[in-house]
Amino acid sequence: MHLLFFGYSARPPVLSETIREVAFNLGLGSSKTHSVTWEDLMVDGRLIVHEVEKAIDSCTFGLFDLTTLSANVLFELGLAIGKRKRVAILIDGQDAHAVKELRAFALLTTTGATSYRNASDLTKTVQRLVAEPSLPLWYDLTGGAEIPPPDGTKLFYMPSFKEDEPSRRLSRVLDAYDKFDVQTVDFEEYGSAPLAWFAEELFTSQFAVFHMTPERAFLSTTANARVSLLAGIARGLGREILIVFEDGADMPLDYRDLALHYRNAADLEKRAIQWIEGLRSPAHKAPTRVRQHLSVELAALRFGNHVAESDQDGLDQYFVETRDFRDVVEAAATIFTGKKGTGKTANMLQAAEALRDDARNLVCVIKPASYELEALLEVLAKVESRHLGDYLIEGLWKYLLYTEIAARAVDEAEKRPAGVPTGSAMDQLRDCLTQSHRGVDASFSIRLERLVKSLESTLSGGVDERDVEASRKIVNAALYGDTLRTLRTLIGKALADRNRIAVLVDNLDKAWHRGADLEMLSRLLLGLLTVVGRVVDEFKKETSRKLSVNVTLTVFLRSDIYAHVRDNAREPDKISTTEIEWRDTELLARVLEDRFLASRPNARSASELWESAFVESVKGMSARNYLLSRVQPRPRDLVFFANAAVLRATNAKHPKVQESDILEAEATYSTFAFEALLVEGVAAEMDLEPILIEFAGEGSIITEPQLNRILKSASLPREKGDVVRVLRRLGFLGIETSDSTFDYGGTEGEMRRADVLARKLAKASRKSKRFQIHPAYRPYLEIEE
């Protein structure tokens, strides 16, 4: 007996009428099929939400129409996925807008949708789907891989896409609770992370918080649709969830009982604290291995998470060491830059672990949240004079670095069996933190918040910025500058015997988003880059009262952001930098191959990956070379593409990844790469989307006159030459430097060299310069090869 549940929108009426007719047709005269629609669950004209959950729980097959991307239907689909039900996604194939919206939704691009024309057509299609043996979508998302059991301390948090004050308050509340390991979804991953990634994150979490984006905000419709699906999956998995709404928002009926409403930021903070205080961390459950299917080898094949922050355990097994990594460990440079996805965070995490292996080292990792940096920007905006603003920026970074080193030193000492001896230098350092800096237990966030309040109080009292010396004394007092001398002396006494104090700073790009004050952010980051050398020098100096300490500071920053910051530096050449690159394709291939070997202890060589899991060739190239040739040379891109290909193959029940799986996965990857490119355009203070869309349908190779024509069609925010350089720096365009060879180098030096070669080639051939659109973006823009 097949029990079918139909989820669909009440509007437009013609759509609901079609689905009702299909449900009626399937149950008519059949003893093997029974259909239930959400409308069948109405009581006195009202829908009983719990009855919907019960109906999905008892059904054997769920069919959900996403023609309108209804929040209710998406939540119900999520419930069915989380409850491991067989599901089918339906869409009116003749509705061009619906097809486009489902593609923009992105989360379901790897699962596919069943299109229909009318009730008769859909009835036959559903009969076929029900009769065909298939497994729940959940197993296709997770494959046969073993997923860790739910962690009773892990809280999955999806923030609002609008980074307003309520969003910042909620983030701060969640971050403040040490009993929970809060896994926050990066804004940049909203549209690029695959559903399989979210499924694993939700499965391993015990709690989940979803903050709906206010309807008036940019991209709210798409963001909230994704939240509806993910919240449904979490609910279906049996997780405790909270969905946060701004008062007055149009709330879907299906999860009205799970919602928290707020009037303003203070109200949200109060209600969120009440909710989280009521949570209790349950005991860990025994590990559960997800059911396997198809070829065990292919079903269980995964290449780890494409986001380093979510793959710490995996990185320990298959991290690929490069020269860049050794430079981080050896402190060969102050600033490590790289494009989005090149492995900056992975290098930082693994360098921290490598340095901790030597007990003589002390490692401090600093990762400010975006809302913390934004709070600082608000304070800086109140300072009118440049001299006082720069002094304040350098002073606050110095304070935060000093206190973080001290706090980590005491924390590490307290965890040792012997603890901290009374009267020792470490004990004195602890007393200093307790008396003047909120104690050892105060997190980086708490100390930063205290600093912001101190500065706000000082500035609100009025400061005569024309008097340089007097105004600096006032700001110095607000920054607790007088206590830093004592702190420096005590740090020297407590850590003089340590081999190295390594401070690693990451996450500085999180506040770099559309609408942010990029000029002020540049000054804030430049202040850190400037103070780094001074702090290192101050700790190296030794006097009768201060012992020398070997402190190294390393900052990880996206290369596009660094380029923007560097333009504001007075002496940029004095900043020591290293750019993380993956020009060596053999080294890049190891990102996949080492992950394969780590999961296959009995494998003899990496070649087994390509022989056993992938088709031999794709468009005349080996599968290995095809994947490497189509992605931007970054670990994140290659891992995303490979995972998408494996997921396509498992969904299609193929024994190994076929050519069709790779080509379909390439389209999914291209969307991912395109959205990542738009994010990087923010640092250049440029909305790239209307510019890039003008390349749609063009050939992969374009002449300079053709490029001029394309750009002329777009409303350029800056001079054409500036736009072209941005497109080249971000890797969208390459320039021909020798016959049919295109250079995608993105640094200023590489582009200058390529310009000279391109100019000489054009002169020698008596032809126009030529450019090439990178393969990563061709499927999305439907570029002709």
Measured in degrees and rounded to the nearest 5, phi and psi for residue 30 equal -110, 135
Long-range contacts of 741-749 (CB under 8 A, 24+ apart): 742/770, 742/771, 742/772, 744/774, 746/339, 746/559, 747/559, 747/579, 748/563
Band of pLDDT at residue 291, cut at 50, 70 and 90: very low
Judge whether 142 lies within some domain: no
Do 582 and 635 touch, CB atoms closer than 8 A? yes
- Give me the half-sphere count of Cα atoms (radius 13 Å) on the Cβ side of residue 362: 20
Pairing relation of β-strands 240-246 and 701-703? Answer: unpaired
- Judgement on whether residues 392 and 471 belong to the same structural domain of the protein: yes
CA angle 326, 327, 330 (to 5 degrees): 85
- Give me the half-sphere count of Cα atoms (radius 13 Å) on the Cβ side of residue 639: 27
Q: Is 592 helix (H, G, I), strand (E, B) or coil?
A: helix
Of the candidates 582, 581, 642, which has an alpha carbon nearest to the alpha carbon of residue 613? Answer: 642
Band of pLDDT at residue 646, cut at 50, 70 and 90: confident
Question: Residue 661: what pLDDT?
Answer: 93
Question: Residue 694: what pLDDT?
Answer: 95
151 DSSP β-pair partners: 205
Report the run of H or E that residue 131 belongs to, with start and end.
Answer: helix 119-131
- Judgement on whether residues 534 and 621 belong to the same structural domain of the protein: no
Judge whether 83 lies within some domain: yes
Question: Residue 281: what pLDDT?
Answer: 53
Asked if pLDDT for residue 684 goes beyond 80, the answer is no
Task: Look at the chain and report how many structural domains it folds into.
Answer: 5
For the chain, give the percent of residues with pLDDT over 70. Answer: 90
Last residue of a domain, one of 633, 658, 680: 680
- Judgement on whether residues 6 and 125 belong to the same structural domain of the protein: yes
Mean pLDDT of the chain: 85
- Give me the half-sphere count of Cα atoms (radius 13 Å) on the Cβ side of residue 592: 29
- Sign of the CA dihedral 73, 75, 79, 85? positive
Asked if pLDDT for residue 457 goes beyond 90, the answer is no
Sheet with 361-366, strands from edge to edge, namely 361-366, 500-505, 551-558, 335-338, 577-579
Question: Residue 294: what pLDDT?
Answer: 35
Do 197 and 306 touch, CB atoms closer than 8 A? yes
Residue 339 CB neighbours (<10 A): 26
Question: Residue 568: what pLDDT?
Answer: 67
- Judgement on whether residues 329 and 470 belong to the same structural domain of the protein: yes
Give residue 284's Cα distance to chain centre: 27
CB burial of 427-441 (b: ≥16 within 10 Å; e: otherwise) equals bebbebbeeebbebe
Judge whether 318 lies within some domain: no
- Judgement on whether residues 157 and 233 belong to the same structural domain of the protein: yes
Question: Residue 498: what pLDDT?
Answer: 94
Question: Highest-confidence range of 136-140, 414-418, 445-449, 499-503, by mean pLDDT?
Answer: 499-503
Question: Residue 447: what pLDDT?
Answer: 77
Sheet with 770-773, strands from edge to edge, namely 701-703, 770-773, 733-738, 741-743
Least confident range of 72-76, 158-162, 407-411, 769-773 = 158-162
Helix-strand-coil split of the chain, %, nearest 5? 55, 15, 35
- Judgement on whether residues 601 and 749 belong to the same structural domain of the protein: no
Report the alpha-carbon distance of residue 15 to residue 89 in Å, rounded: 14
Question: Residue 287: what pLDDT?
Answer: 42
Band of pLDDT at residue 571, cut at 50, 70 and 90: low
Judge whether 140 lies within some domain: no
Averaged pLDDT for residues 722-742: 94
- Judgement on whether residues 205 and 265 belong to the same structural domain of the protein: yes
Model pLDDT for residues 306-350, shown as the tens digit of each residue: 665 556 666 667 788 888 888 889 988 788 888 888 888 888 999
Question: Residue 495: what pLDDT?
Answer: 94
Model pLDDT for residues 41-74, shown as the tens digit of each residue: 865 655 566 788 899 999 999 999 999 999 999 9
Question: Residue 222: what pLDDT?
Answer: 84
The token pair that represents 422 in the structure block: 């009374």
Report the alpha-carbon distance of residue 769 to residue 755 in Å, rounded: 10
The token pair that represents 482 in the structure block: 């007088």
Judge whether 459 lies within some domain: yes
- Judgement on whether residues 475 and 602 belong to the same structural domain of the protein: no
Give residue 424's Cα distance to chain centre: 43
- Judgement on whether residues 565 and 633 belong to the same structural domain of the protein: no
Q: Is 717 helix (H, G, I), strand (E, B) or coil?
A: coil
Last residue of a domain, one of 623, 652, 680: 680
Q: Is 328 helix (H, G, I), strand (E, B) or coil?
A: helix
Judge whether 309 lies within some domain: no
- Judgement on whether residues 266 and 369 belong to the same structural domain of the protein: no
Report the alpha-carbon distance of residue 694 to residue 769 in Å, rounded: 20
- Give me the half-sphere count of Cα atoms (radius 13 Å) on the Cβ side of residue 220: 14
Question: Residue 286: what pLDDT?
Answer: 44
Question: Residue 289: what pLDDT?
Answer: 39
Residue 520 CB neighbours (<10 A): 18
Question: Residue 105: what pLDDT?
Answer: 82
- Judgement on whether residues 22 and 170 belong to the same structural domain of the protein: no
Judge whether 293 lies within some domain: no
Question: Residue 311: what pLDDT?
Answer: 61
Model pLDDT for residues 175-233, shown as the tens digit of each residue: 878 778 888 887 665 556 778 888 888 998 999 999 999 988 877 888 899 999 999 99
Last residue of a domain, one of 680, 697, 724: 680
- Return the CATH number at 665: 1.10.8
Judge whether 158 lies within some domain: yes
Do 182 and 443 touch, CB atoms closer than 8 A? no
- Judgement on whether residues 359 and 426 belong to the same structural domain of the protein: yes
Range of the domain at 536: 323-579
Question: Residue 284: what pLDDT?
Answer: 45
- Return the CATH number at 38: 3.40.50.450
Give the global pTM: 0.74
